[in-house]
Structures are given as C-alpha cells and as structure tokens.
Chain A
Amino acid sequence: MSRGKKFAALTLLSFIVLVIVGAKFSGHQGDATGTRTGSLSDYLNASGSPDAKDVPISQVGINQLASEAGHLRVSINFTWLLMTGFLVLFMQVGFAFLVTGLTRAKNAGHMMMMNLTSFAVALLAYFAVGFALQFGGIAPVANLGGIAPLNGLTPHGNWGLIGTHGFFLQSAHGYDVGVMALFLFQVVFMETAGYIIIGAIAERVSFAAFLLAEVVMGALIYPIFGMWVWGGGFLAHLGQSYNWGHGAVDFAGSGVVHATGGWAALAMAVVLGPRLGKFNRDGTPNAFPGHNLGYVVIGTLVLVFGWMGFNPGSTFGATDLRISVVAVNTLLAGCCGTVTALAWTNAKWGKPDISMTCNGMLAGLVAITAPCAFVAPWAACVIGIVAGLVVCYGVWFFDHVAHVDDPCGAVSVHGLCGAWGVLSVGIFADGTYGDGWNGVSGPVKGLIYGDGGQLLAQVAEVVVGFAWAFGLFYVIFKLAKNFMAIRVSEAAEIEGLDVPEFGAHCYPDFVLVSHEIRGDHDNGDSYALSGDGHGSSTQVP
C-alpha cells in the first residue's frame, strides 16, 4: 500500500472510531426527541415577560396554554430555519452552473465534480470538527429554545477564540434537536464559503489540492473566524471590551462567509499562478470566454432564489417579522448591482457584458448580506450600486493590474464586495433593529446615524478576516506545494482536466477543439494562441 493510501485509510478509520466512541460515551442527555425544547419559559423569555418563577402557581391552566404557545413559537422558528437552510443548500446548484458556464467546455466535468465533492468533503469536516469550534459556545439562542448543550466557550468572557462542545454532533450532549437545526443551517453557510474558492482556482487546480482546501475550510478556516463573529468570540465582543458599537455585526455573513471564501480564493489563485496563456509577457491579459453563458445566467438566478434563505433565514426565526425587510433589502441591492454593472460595461465597452452583469447581481447580494437587517431600503440601493462598481473595477484590477487569474471573478464578487458589505453596516445601520445585539443595549447605528464606534468594529472584522483567511490559506498551500501536486501538468491543462483527472469527458458527443498554446505562461509568446476566442474550446458536432 502506498503512503497516500495508508494515510487515507487511517483517516477514514479514525473518523469512524471517533463517531462510535462519541455515540457510546456522550450519553443522550440533550433533547434528542424535541419534546422538552420550547416551553413556558421560552414564551415568557422571548416575549419579554417576567420570568416563569414570577407566575402564580394557581395559573396552572394558563401555564399549560402558554407552554403550548412557547413550544409552537420554537416550532415555527425551527421550520423557518430548516426551510431557509434548504434554500441555501440549493445555492450549490446555482454556483455549479455559474462557474461551469464561466469556464471552458474541456474542463466542465472537473468543475462539476469539484462542486459535488466540495459539498460532501467540507460537510464531513464541519460535522467532525468545524461546527463545535464555531458554535460550541453559542448558547443560549432564545429563538431555538436555548440550545443548552452548546455552552463550551474557550476562553470565557470577551476574548473567546473557539467553541468546545458538539464535536461529531455528540460531545457534551450535542445530540439535540436545537443543535441539529443550528447545524443544518450553519453547514450550508460553510459550504458557500467552501465552493466560492472554485471560481478562482478553476481550470488548473489538481483535484487533490482542492479536496485539501475543502477540508481546511470546513474544519478550521471558516469555523474559527465564524466563531469570532457569530459564536460569541472576541470580534463580537468588541462592543463590550472596547465600546466599539455592538462589536462586529455581520447579519448573514458578508464577511464571515463571502469575504472568507473570497480571500481564501485569492490566496490559492496567487499560489497556483495563472492559467497557461492567460497573461502575455508584458502582463496584458487574454480573454478565455466561458463556454455557456446560459449556465451563467441560470446559475445567477438560482443564487438569487437561494439568497432568499441566506439572508431572511439568518434571523433564526419566523417570529422575528424583520424578515420581510431583510428579503426586500436583499432584492433591492441585487438589482441595483445588476443595473450598475450593466450600465458600467455598456458605457465602457459599448455593449453590456452578460457575465459581468451576472457578477454585478451577485456583488449586490454579497454586499447586502451583512447589513440587510439594519438598513433602510434606500441604503440597500446605495450599497448595491457601490457593490456593482466595486466588482467591475475589481475584475479589471485583478486582470490588468494585479495579474491574478480569477476565471469567475470570485475574489472581486465575494472578497471585495464582502468587505464592502461588512463596512456598510458601520455606515448605514439606521438604529431601527438590533437592540441588545452582541449584548450591547440599544439598536445598531452606523456612522451617519451617529455611532462611529460601530464602523471601527466593522473595520476590525474586515482586517482580521483578511489576515486570517488569506494568510492561512497562503501559508498552507505554499507548504502543500512541497509535497503534493497542487496544479495539474501542462499537458493536462492544455487537453482539459476532465480526462486526466477523472477519465471522462463532460461532453463526449462533441469534438472539443483544444487550441494549441505556443510558448507558456512563464516565457515565450503566450499571447499567440491559435484558434478562435484565444484558447476557448469550441464544439464542432
């Protein structure tokens, strides 16, 4: 057996052993059936009434009624959380269409396979380790009946770094309906950060390196940063420790999800280097047109639909009627981003660019993800318009100035617009929502409503997020480069990755015309690509 096989077998074996050990020794003292989750106290706590102990014993009948109501309240929130989680899960379909359409036909199978396996591999990593690191210390969550088992915060107080309960969804009584509901909703968010990377590393990354990226993302990079903002960590507590507004406020994850994915994508794109022939010797880029703009548009629209779960679901409950504001703000920003990119490309190049218009829509959605619950509709429009401009200049910047090859614009859409979204909370939050957010009383207010401290906390999230996701991904893949092939061979890249990596063409019934590349990306006249569309694969029946 080769070293690689031994390593894989050992990993699998220890995974199974840990699951069994967890099942044997964790005990099932969480609420695994759901009958004890949601009671009178939930009704009283969540509706702002006095504590249960203040209610006279003579009111037993009313207590039973209220207990039913409390259970119902939590049930409605569970339903909302799970349904919106399923919508977010569907975004995986949109992303698969989007990135496959934006790349060449000869790599389509590879693109689809990455989208499929990113889901499974990252989910298992998150199940084993990531979820506990991120949310192991988040309890209580009132909307979901408390989630009592998840109360392992390390270190305690304002400087939390990791959670410690819920490894394998079993440790510390993690086998609990509330924990499972939270897991489902959070794992699909992690998946989003995981598959964002694909857009920037497409058409040259080796499958093995990609799987490593997904494990690292699902087990460490995403959960730990997510903990700092969402799991009771130090960024969330900047309001209490430094008086910076409410601490880092990131409603549905412009920073936690999108910027993390975008910065990790940037790090990997830099370490991998550009695709063969992408840049000429003088640094000017060549276009590699995507093979199916229909896929790109379908994918974008599927993503918009999924975003209706991504943002409104992040209230963790349908009993919070702010969900309608969140949903409408999300659509407004997405459409403003679309129109901005459409107008900008039309003004700049004479015709609206289809794929850039799609990127504009996603840019608006990414940017509004953090502020969607805290801003007025007019501000959502402004945030979307700025995001549309950021993505257009971002794609131009990485192509023409930074010379980082990002086939699908992942870094511009998710990294830059994610950062913009986080900052925009600190500017536009209008003080109508978020009373008590991160343990700070009063609603969340941005700079123009008089709270400059909030903007400081947002800047802190952006800076820490970039250093963490970009820094660690860069280091990990610089090291990985020494003992594994993180990039496919030149021959495989020219032929297309489908057959060298998976032994099957995505489109076997067509002749894929691979264009010869004279010279290569390091030396020689790599601009001299023969064939149409400079290296695009065209199908000839």
Chain B
Amino acid sequence: MNHLITAIIKPHKLDDVKDAVRAAGVLGLTVSEIRGFGRQGGKTETYRGTEYTVDFLPKVRIDILVEDHEADKIVDVIASSARTGKIGDGKIWITPVLRTVRIRTGELDSDAL
C-alpha cells in the first residue's frame, strides 16, 4: 500500500526540498502554487499610504506518493530541508492511498511508483 505525503512549504524552499527527497530516493513529485493562511492570519502592508491586509500568502504544495515503510523517513527529509525556524514554515501530512495506477502500463500500487 502507498501513502500520499502532502507538504505545504515556503516557495523559496522548493529547490532544497526537491534535492533532498530526490537524494532520499523519491522518483517523482507534483508541485502546485497555492495560497492560504495559518495561525498568523496574513500580514499588513501599506500601499500609497493606505494599509491593507494580505489575507492569503503564497505557498507551494508538494504531493509525493511513497511506499508506506518509506513515509516517515521522507517526512523527516522534507521537514528538515524546508525548515527556516520562522513563522510560516508550513505543514506536512500523510494520507493512506487505496489504489495507485500507472496510466501507461496499468501497473498497480508499489509497481506504479
């Protein structure tokens, strides 16, 4: 059975995370540009003398499919490579995956990675 690792990270840490998970043996990942807020709730800036709140900050979301025994190790790799120690570093979560299919060959589950 495979697990899906989803990580929300700071956009500028994407290259570090990609290099780290590759080195740890991950064969592929999917990236999306997303926006959102966390406990900080956005931040305030000034435009031409008028304050405004940026409610949703830009983030990058990474989705990686891994075999279940690999999952904890990859999460550690992502966490250490994405960490800056400042507010807004993001989150990682793992979801069990019922079925994985490689479209070209029809291979299933771990063979499909």
Give A residues with C-beta under 8 Å from B.
Answer: 285-287, 289, 345, 348-351, 353, 355-356, 392, 395-396, 399-400, 409, 531-534, 540-541
Please provide the 6 A-B residue pairs with the shortest distance between their CB atoms, ordered closest to farther.
A287-B52, A287-B47, A287-B50, A349-B46, A532-B56, A289-B47
In the complex, chain B residues whose CB is within 8 Å of the CB of A355: 47-48
Check B52–A399 contact: CB distance below 8 A: no
Check A396–B49 contact: CB distance below 8 A: yes
Check B49–A532 contact: CB distance below 8 A: no
Q: Which residue of B lies closest to A290 (CB)?
A: B47
Asked whether any CB of chain A lies closer than 8 Å to the CB of B83, the reply is no
Q: How near does chain B come to A275, taking the closest CB pair, in angstroms?
A: 13
Check A353–B46 contact: CB distance below 8 A: yes
Q: Which of B11-52 contact A (CB under 8 A)?
A: 33, 35, 42, 46-52
In the complex, chain A residues whose CB is within 8 Å of the CB of B51: 287
In the complex, chain A residues whose CB is within 8 Å of the CB of B33: 540-541
In the complex, chain A residues whose CB is within 8 Å of the CB of B47: 287, 289, 353, 355
CA distance A532 to B73 in the complex (A): 36
CA distance A541 to B53 in the complex (A): 22
In the complex, chain A residues whose CB is within 8 Å of the CB of B35: 532
Of A285, A345, A350, A540, the contact of B50 (CB 8 Å cutoff): A285
In the complex, chain B residues whose CB is within 8 Å of the CB of A399: 48-50
Asked whether any CB of chain A lies closer than 8 Å to the CB of B55, the reply is yes
Check B49–A533 contact: CB distance below 8 A: no
Of B49, B53, B54, B56, the contact of A349 (CB 8 Å cutoff): B49
Check B55–A356 contact: CB distance below 8 A: no
CA distance A540 to B50 in the complex (A): 25
Q: How near does chain A come to B58, taking the closest CB pair, in angstroms?
A: 9
CA distance A285 to B48 in the complex (A): 11
Q: How near does chain B come to A403, taking the closest CB pair, in angstroms?
A: 12
**Other 7 A-B pairs with CB < 8 A, given A348-B49, A349-B49, A395-B48:** A287-B51, A289-B47, A353-B48, A356-B49, A531-B55, A532-B35, A532-B55
Q: How near does chain B come to A539, taking the closest CB pair, in angstroms?
A: 11
In the complex, chain A residues whose CB is within 8 Å of the CB of B55: 531-532
A and B contact pairs by CB, cutoff 8 A, 15 listed = A287-B48, A287-B52, A348-B49, A351-B46, A353-B47, A392-B49, A395-B49, A399-B49, A531-B55, A532-B35, A533-B52, A533-B54, A534-B53, A540-B33, A541-B33
In the complex, chain B residues whose CB is within 8 Å of the CB of A534: 52-53
Q: How near does chain B come to A246, taking the closest CB pair, in angstroms?
A: 38
In the complex, chain B residues whose CB is within 8 Å of the CB of A396: 49
Q: Given known contacts A532-B35, A541-B33, is B52 in contact with A286 (CB within 8 Å)? A: yes
